[in-house]
């Protein structure tokens, strides 16, 4: 521990193994996993089909390099394009890397069109990663603090506000792309109006701009469709994927369609590990299992079950701001910082997370069953009730004093 850089506030437990939606710590205590490694372990832990496929793959090939053709890479790209209606894929190893590829694509796109200062419109509260360029596009002052100077080329506007985007596009002729999450994850589980997403598509078509959608957290079935933007019935020009794609084997993807295709040529972009046979097999198998087990339909059903259950217990309670989300991407916003609930849930055998200080976030595995969905509600709702009541009691005491 003392030799690790001090970049995380870690909880004082470590897990030894998992099975489905359950994780077991070093003392044998069982936890219900409502976080799934931050939207990564969509298939839960140790899914037998995934274990068999990866075991087979490790026994044959882990890595060869992009000096050669990689059949598994071609296979996963075909699959992603079939599911998204898009045309080309570049594989990296993380969400940040997928987004870096997308940002480099915009810049190259600009240079090819005689606009060497391409600007990308980005959103308040957006989260795109921790590399310098993705951090420059991220709307979190906390994450950015101390890391300037940043790469330029970003114009930030309020989320879910089409007029703000229009004004920004009108104000700067160098704007070539609009970039957003359809459902903001790290920013606090804020869902865009689908009419807004459609209007962005239309604006991009009218002005010849690239519509870029970061599906790193919301993609791969989590909201009940392969990609969250499909709820709006639009297709982006650039889409990025990562978290759920490899079920824990690191993989990221930058996917292009229409005007965003054919932008890079050999030597323009690359990465050593990207698209290796192990990561690609994990992706192919993950998508196959989500489809064959009907996990997207399940994500919607269990998401509704959790949200419905929470609303029944917590509805109208003072201190609860909103319960929101799509599928198994769920946020419970309180009117005060609630980080301490993470520890309390841990004691109660439930793994959750708090983002943006006041939003309890759950990203359970897509394999969650109804009993487990109910168990999440049974374990979490009383903690929230107690937390809010204690807070109100404290405020009342303070006022009396």
Residues within the interface to ligand PLP (CB under 6 A): 94-96, 99, 127-129, 181, 185-186, 214, 216-217, 242-243
Q: How far is the CB of 171 from ligand PLP (least distance, A)?
A: 26
Please name which of 88, 135, 237 lies closest in space to residue 177, comparing C-alpha atoms.
237
Q: Smaller CB distance to ligand PLP: residue 180 or 332?
A: 180
Q: How far is the CB of 218 from ligand PLP (least distance, A)?
A: 7
- HSE at residue 97, side-chain half, CA atoms within 13 A, is 19
Q: How far is the CB of 184 from ligand PLP (least distance, A)?
A: 8
Q: 156 φ, ψ to 5°?
A: -95, 135
Contact assessment for residue 110 and residue 118, using Cβ atoms and an 8 Å cutoff: yes
- HSE at residue 182, side-chain half, CA atoms within 13 A, is 34
Please name which of 121, 101, 79 lies closest in space to residue 240, comparing C-alpha atoms.
101
Q: Smaller CB distance to ligand PLP: residue 44 or 95?
A: 95
Q: Smaller CB distance to ligand PLP: residue 335 or 357?
A: 357
Q: Smaller CB distance to ligand PLP: residue 91 or 127?
A: 127
Q: Smaller CB distance to ligand PLP: residue 122 or 375?
A: 122
- Six-digit token string for 220: 């791969």
Q: How far is the CB of 206 from ligand PLP (least distance, A)?
A: 26
Q: How far is the CB of 309 from ligand PLP (least distance, A)?
A: 25
Q: Smaller CB distance to ligand PLP: residue 176 or 216?
A: 216
Q: Smaller CB distance to ligand PLP: residue 242 or 352?
A: 242
Q: How far is the CB of 93 from ligand PLP (least distance, A)?
A: 8
Contact assessment for residue 326 and residue 228, using Cβ atoms and an 8 Å cutoff: yes
Alpha carbon distance, N-terminus to C-terminus of the chain: 44
Alpha carbon distance 339, 356 (integer Å): 10
Q: Where are the alpha helices (DSSP H) in 85-118?
A: 95-112
Residues 6+ apart with CB under 8 A from 140: 125, 127, 186, 187
Q: How far is the CB of 127 from ligand PLP (least distance, A)?
A: 5
Please name which of 51, 127, 58, 124 lies closest in space to residue 95, comparing C-alpha atoms.
127
Of all residues in the shown chain, the one whose CB is closest to ligand PLP is 95
């Amino acid at each position: 521990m003392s030799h690790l850089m001090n970049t995380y506030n870690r909880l004082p437990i470590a897990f030894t193994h998992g099975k489905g939606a359950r994780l077991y710590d070093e003392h044998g205590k069982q936890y219900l996993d409502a976080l799934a490694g931050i939207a990564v372990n969509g298939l839960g832990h140790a899914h037998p089909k995934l274990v068999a496929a990866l075991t087979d793959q490790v026994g044959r090939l882990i890595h060869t390099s992009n000096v050669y053709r990689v059949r598994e890479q071609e296979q996963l790209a075909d699959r992603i394009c079939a599911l998204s209606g898009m045309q080309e894929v570049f594989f990296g190893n993380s969400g940040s890397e997928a987004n870096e590829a997308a940002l480099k694509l915009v810049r190259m796109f600009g240079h090819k069109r005689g606009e060497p200062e391409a600007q990308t419109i980005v959103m308040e509260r957006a989260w795109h990663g921790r590399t310098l360029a993705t951090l420059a596009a991220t709307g979190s002052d906390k994450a950015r603090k101390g890391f300037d100077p940043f790469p330029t080329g970003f114009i930030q506007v309020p989320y879910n506000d089409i007029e703000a985007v229009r004004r920004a596009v009108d104000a700067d002729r160098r704007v070539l792309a609009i970039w957003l999450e359809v459902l903001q994850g790290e920013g606090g589980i804020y869902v865009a109006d689908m009419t807004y997403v459609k209007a962005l598509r239309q604006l991009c078509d009218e002005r010849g701009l690239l519509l870029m959608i970061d599906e790193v957290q919301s993609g791969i079935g989590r909201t009940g469709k392969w990609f969250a933007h499909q709820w709006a019935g639009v297709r982006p020009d650039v889409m990025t994927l990562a978290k759920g794609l490899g079920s824990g084997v690191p993989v990221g993807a930058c996917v292009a369609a229409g005007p965003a295709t054919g932008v890079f040529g050999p030597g323009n972009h690359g990465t050593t590990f990207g698209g290796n046979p192990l990561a690609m097999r994990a992706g192919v198998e993950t998508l196959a299992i989500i489809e064959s087990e009907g996990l997207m339909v399940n994500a919607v059903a269990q998401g509704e079950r959790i949200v419905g259950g929470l609303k029944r217990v917590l509805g109208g309670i003072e201190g609860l701001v909103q319960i929101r989300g799509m599928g198994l991407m769920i946020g419970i916003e309180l009117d005060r910082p609630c980080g301490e609930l993470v520890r309390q849930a841990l004691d109660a055998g439930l793994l959750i997370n708090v983002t943006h200080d006041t939003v309890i976030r759950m990203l359970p595995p897509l394999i969650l069953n109804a009993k487990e969905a109910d168990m999440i509600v049974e374990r979490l709702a009383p903690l929230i009730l107690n937390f809010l009541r204690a807070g109100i009691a404290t405020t009342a005491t303070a006022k009396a004093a």
